[in-house]
Chain A
Amino acid sequence: MRDVAVIGVGETEFGELWDRSFRDLGIEAGLKAIQDAKLRSEDIDAVYIGNMSAGKFIDQEHVSALVADYSGLADMHLPTVRVEGGGACGAIALLQARLAIASGMHDIVVVGGAEKMTDVGEVQAAEILSSTADQEWESVFGATFAGLYAMMARRHMHEFGTTREQMAAVAVKNHKNGALNPEAQFQKEITIDAVLQAPWVAEPLGLFDCAPLSDGAAAVVLCEAQRARKFSDTPIRIAGSGQASDFLALHDRRDLTTLDATVIAGKRAFHEAKIMPKDIQVAEVHDNFTISEILAIEDLRFIEKGKGGPATAEGLTALNGKISVNTSGGLKARGQPVGATGVAQAVEIVRQLRGEAGKRQVVGARHGLTHTLGGTGATAVVHLFERGD
């Protein structure tokens, strides 16, 4: 396999962007990434797009060709690929694009992720999100997406004594980081009390335990590593990638407090990169709910199983703590345009490893990780990044 590096990144602001369409967002992120890489359009060999559900959110399928078209690339007749995989689609698109370059088929690929979620109402958006769970044997009976994660949270509290305050500490930390990110949806700090007093969504999760509905897009440009220095002074190498799946329905899983797909995707990525979890300084993990970040930091072996709650409350995962987790604000504060998630996480890690993360810069960051979930954990993807120098 050929080595692959990130040579350009770009993203839109995330939020309820009433005046921006799906195509506006996809194009803005893509063009920013292309400019960052100082590419000419004729350098591009292919476009990969992560998108969860444009068909349901905006009634538009075939968004891969659409984004290439409106980015001014129609005349180049590039191969374009749209990847689906629930919330993990952007991370899978990144992995597939990496493989396309590693195989020798392409040299330079633009990977985008985009979702336009606010053209439908909140109830409908929540129903679309839950379509990544098992519609026939979970949703039909009344289980919501938040409800399924709430059942993991309840079980984690039961087995390990995790408290609502500890889960709230995830939201407080990520809002604190989001306040340092000018592109985040929420740039305002919150308190533990505010999280605890928010209305219930699905007990034991309240409104501030949940990531928001968002519009937004992100893009990265990948390049065969030997050519990467022609475009970037600080190419960021993809050191390892792992993807894993599991039973679609939560109730069929081996354990309700461990996402085996995360564990296995992580092992695969670390094995390839020949590094250990302790070698990572900065991680973007899939905090679609507060409990999700606690599960992720345990299942990725940053923190011992069952100790994710206390570790967060003690600040081990805060900015420049033992490991800095979700410096962008995470899905919780940066926002959660689903298809953009995996790519936006990569954008943040690249900025951190380049030393361009401004007020939220992690000191001495050399290795970074992204972790992205599809559904309630039936898919997980882990990518590891390292500075090339």
Chain B
Amino acid sequence: MSLAIPRFWREIQSRYNLIGTKCGNCGKVDFPPRAVCPVCGRKSIGKMQRFQLGGKGSVVTYTVIHDAPAQFEMQKPYVMAIIEMDEGVRLTSQLIDVKPEDVRIGMKVQASFRKLGQDGDAGVIHYGYKFRPAG
């Protein structure tokens, strides 16, 4: 999949710095940012505040990808996980610096700034978060 430059650029704040939102009404944290809180609905409009995640969390579930998209062909097999951040919100990320057979549900992980991919041989490089074992 090739990404238009503005399409990646628009989300850089969240992909580089884990910027989400916190609902000014109920306090729920969302990532990526939402304009409307899924819990409070209308009451949250205009009250969604910028919120940076701390970058620490734990593995809820994971998989080892063997059939990869063209963009990730050189990385396979690689580990993908759903991570529950300490703030309660969940996200999907690659797990790195760990052998697939050593990954466990419940494992503590932390965010790391990495190269996600690139647009062909001459296009822009995409950076963002991956997660690695904490500590």
Contact = CB atoms under 8 A, between A and B. Distances in A.
Contacts of B70: 123-124, 127
A251 B80 contact: no
B112 interface: no
Given A150-B63, A151-B63, A202-B66, A141 B1 contact: no
Nearest to A247: B38
A152 B91 CA distance: 14
Nearest to A136: B11
B60 A203 contact: no
Contacts of A137: 32, 91-92
Contacts of A124: 70
Nearest to B3: A140
B61 A142 contact: no
B21 interface: no
B78 A202 contact: no
A142 B94 contact: yes
A38 B63 CA distance: 50
Given A127-B70, A142-B80, A249 B63 contact: no
A158 B65 contact: no
A357 interface: no
A143 B92 contact: yes
B92 A144 contact: no
A251 B92 CA distance: 7
Contacts of B66: 199-203
B44 to A, nearest CB: 16
Interface in B72-114: 72, 75, 77-78, 80-82, 90-94, 100, 105
Nearest to A134: B92
A139 B128 CA distance: 13
Contacts of A249: 92
Interface residues of A, number: 37
A19 interface: no
Contact of B61 (A138, A155, A205, A252): A155
B67 interface: yes
Contact of B67 (A126, A250, A251): A126
B82 A202 contact: no
A130 interface: yes
A52 B93 CA distance: 27
B6 interface: no
B134 interface: no
A256 B63 contact: no
B45 interface: no
A252 B60 CA distance: 12
Q: Which of B3, B67, B78, B81 has the most CB of A within 10 A?
A: B67
A147 B93 CA distance: 12
B68 interface: yes
A251 B82 contact: yes
B114 to A, nearest CB: 10
B90 A251 contact: yes
B62 interface: yes
A247 B130 CA distance: 22
Contacts of B130: 141
A144 B62 contact: no
Contacts of A152: 61
A132 B4 CA distance: 19
Nearest to B129: A141
Interface of B: 1, 3, 8, 11, 32, 38, 60-72, 75, 77-78, 80-82, 90-94, 100, 105, 116-117, 126, 128, 130
Report, nearest first, the 5 A-B pairs whose CB atoms are least far apart: A150-B63, A203-B64, A251-B90, A200-B66, A155-B61
Interface of A: 123-124, 126-127, 130, 135-144, 146-148, 150-152, 154-155, 158, 199-205, 247, 249-252, 256
28 contacts: A124-B70, A136-B11, A140-B3, A140-B8, A140-B117, A141-B80, A141-B92, A142-B68, A142-B72, A142-B75, A142-B94, A143-B65, A144-B68, A147-B63, A147-B80, A150-B63, A151-B61, A155-B60, A155-B61, A199-B66, A200-B67, A200-B77, A201-B67, A202-B63, A203-B64, A203-B66, A251-B92, A252-B38
